Amino acid sequence: MSAGYVVMELPIYLDHAASTPVAPEVLQAMLPFFTDSPWNAAAIYAGGKEATDAVETARQQVADLIGADADEVFFTSGGTESDNWALKAARMGPTQGRSHILISAIEHAAVIESAEALARAGWDVERVPVGADGCVEPAEVDMRISSRTALVSVMTANNEVGTLQAVEAIADVCRSKRVLFHTDAVQAAAQVPLDVQKLGADMVTISAHKLYGPKGVGALYIRRGTLVGRWMDGGSHERGLRAGTVNVPGVVGIGAACSLLHMRRNEDMSRVAALRDRLVSGVLDRVPECRLSAAESPRLPNFAHFCFRGVEGEAILIGLDAAGIYASAGAACSSRSVTTSHVLRAMGMSDEWARGAVRLTLGRSTTEAQVDYVVDVLAEVVADLRR
């Protein structure tokens, strides 16, 4: 890389969809629960009450962000666990002979593999296709629901290309047919308003480390009255549904992160969207044979997913890394896999384009100068690889 580039503080982090840094305010809120107040929330002495109060404050903070009541929020170890619980709850609750599940073709592995586990247990799992635009048509869900359908799971926003799904309309379809609806809002929660009342989902997954909170903690919203089975045995934690000593610092962290997000999301959204637009137009102007994925679809404001024809995405990422830019090819969990993404395949993209996929996801610390540097480097890396 030419020496002219090295004026930037590196690395430049453009992989916020993989994880976000813990906000300083969140870390401050968590620290006492590692040090001065390490109490178990189940203990009966005063310290236990202090920990319980902190957990319940966090529950209210999460509830406030998503328009829920606090008793509808259950803490988990993250998005993966919440997705597992939501899908497998269909098996654990009273299913009245229903054994059919619908998931979209572009779900995260946590949903796909949970559904595959249900399939091994004899459930009928069906995938709802998406169009080339990366979106699920509510009518496609509607026509697949039968009297045997127990649950539909369609993500609020996709974690590779960032497409926002018509989840309100899909929830309406499910409600009218008395079928449970779950949505994985892990990527959406940090970027766009999420109101479970308006949304009408029965279960919603969120994860702290995608919204400037700590890794290893998440939540599952379960609408009051939804019949779900006990998820983890071993005690009466989380109102008897999810046993295990509560991760008090982590839970305080997700609460603080949600509270901070509640205050600043609109500001974050418009700032990041403007930077994303600058990045997109810069890349499309400078790099030939490059496409913005799902360009015409509603997308998360911080996502820019490109495909470069005839170039390996992984080679581009290595070139970016060498210039101090951290990005990824798609889902964090599959970033070391060499197969093309199931999301791009579901969108009907040819291998020739899909192999050259690069996902750039912006965040609170992204600046205009970083964006301009990334455009310069990306143009040079792709040109070098094509030479």
Ligand X SMILES: Cc1ncc(COP(=O)(O)O)c(C=O)c1O
Task: List residues binding ligand X (CB under 6 A).
Answer: 78-80, 83, 108, 110, 155, 159, 184, 186-187, 207, 209, 218, 332
Report the nearest approach of ligand X to the CB of residue 107 (Å): 8
Q: Strands, E, within the chain: which ranges?
A: 12-13, 73-76, 100-104, 124-128, 149-153, 180-184, 203-207, 218-222, 290-292, 303-308, 325-326, 357-361
Q: Which is nearer to ligand X, 218 or 253 (CB)?
A: 218
Collapsing DSSP to helix, strand or coil, 48 comes out as: helix
Q: Which is nearer to ligand X, 95 or 156 (CB)?
A: 156
Cα distance between residue 182 and residue 338, in whole Å: 30
Q: Cα–Cα–Cα angle for 199, 203, 206, nearest 5°?
A: 90
Q: Which is nearer to ligand X, 95 or 328 (CB)?
A: 328
Report the nearest approach of ligand X to the CB of residue 264 (Å): 21
Report the nearest approach of ligand X to the CB of residue 12 (Å): 20
**Cis ω before 21 (30° cut-off from 0):** no
Phi and psi of 224, rounded to 5°?
A: -55, 135
- 197 alpha-carbon distance from chain centroid: 20
Cβ atoms 7, 383 nearer than 8 A: no
Report the nearest approach of ligand X to the CB of residue 178 (Å): 26
CB neighbour list of residue 280: distance below 8 Å, 6 or more residues apart: 292, 304
Q: Which of 174, 258, 290, 333 is catalytic?
A: 333
Report the nearest approach of ligand X to the CB of residue 368 (Å): 27
- Helices 368-386 and 313-322: angle between axes, nearest 10 degrees: 130
21-48 burial, b at 16+ Cβ within 10 Å, e below that, comes to ebbeebbebbeebeeeeebebeeeeeee
Q: Which is nearer to ligand X, 83 or 202 (CB)?
A: 83
Report the nearest approach of ligand X to the CB of residue 122 (Å): 25
Cα distance between residue 317 and residue 325, in whole Å: 8
Q: Which is nearer to ligand X, 186 or 375 (CB)?
A: 186
CB neighbour list of residue 44: distance below 8 Å, 6 or more residues apart: none
For residue 290, indicate whether it is catalytic. no
Q: Which is nearer to ligand X, 102 or 155 (CB)?
A: 155
**Residues belonging to the active site:** 333
